[in-house]
Amino acid sequence: MAEIKYESKIGQIAANDSTVFAVLSNLENINRFRDVIPQDKIKDMEVTPDRIRMKVEGLGQKIAIAIVEKEEYKTIKFGAEDLPIPFNVWIQLKQVAELDTRIRITIKTDMPIMFKMMFDKKMQLGLDQAIDMLCQIPYNQL
């Protein structure tokens, strides 16, 4: 097993860090965007303010992702539950100007090196797509 770290590209959001943090740190806000979640990949989603449980295609079981730590306006840390490979995800925010917040996602996990070789490109692509989606949310309208 090796500790592996993935980082997304940096995204830009046209909102203040406090607004972005308020939306992303309450997972129930996902309910506002259920129509853009791929229904063929994600099923049986249950959402609370600090946890999402769902069945993901290809895993064959329900998994949960929960908020485990928050640093107001800066960081939201998530932990995975019910997965064979543990991981943590951080959403990092940094306001650089009025209505200009930068966002990055970092994942840290322990996995066999062979898995890393299999998942590297997919993980990077998935993180960058996640940043693109997070940057498109109309934070100031929520």
* Per-residue pLDDT reduced to its tens digit, 99-133: 999 999 999 998 888 888 888 888 899 999 999 99
> Which one has a higher pLDDT value, 113 or 23?
23
Is the predicted pLDDT of residue 136 greater than 80, yes or no?
Answer: yes
Q: Once rounded to an integer, what is the mean pLDDT over residues 80-89?
A: 85
18 contacts 138 by C-beta, under 8 angstroms: no
Q: What is the mean pLDDT of the chain?
A: 91
Q: What is the pTM of this model?
A: 0.89
Cα maximum dimension of the chain: 44
Tokens of 54: 């769902």
Q: What superfamily does domain 2-141 belong to in CATH?
A: START domain (3.30.530.20)
Residue 84 binned pLDDT confidence (cut-offs 50, 70, 90): confident
Given the structure tokens 């090196």, which residue do they identify?
A: 113
> Could you give the angle at the alpha carbon of 79 between the alpha carbons of 74 and 84, nearest 5°?
155
Q: Find the distance separating the first CA and the last CA of the chain, reported in whole Å.
A: 42
Q: How many CB atoms lie within 10 A of CB 76?
A: 22
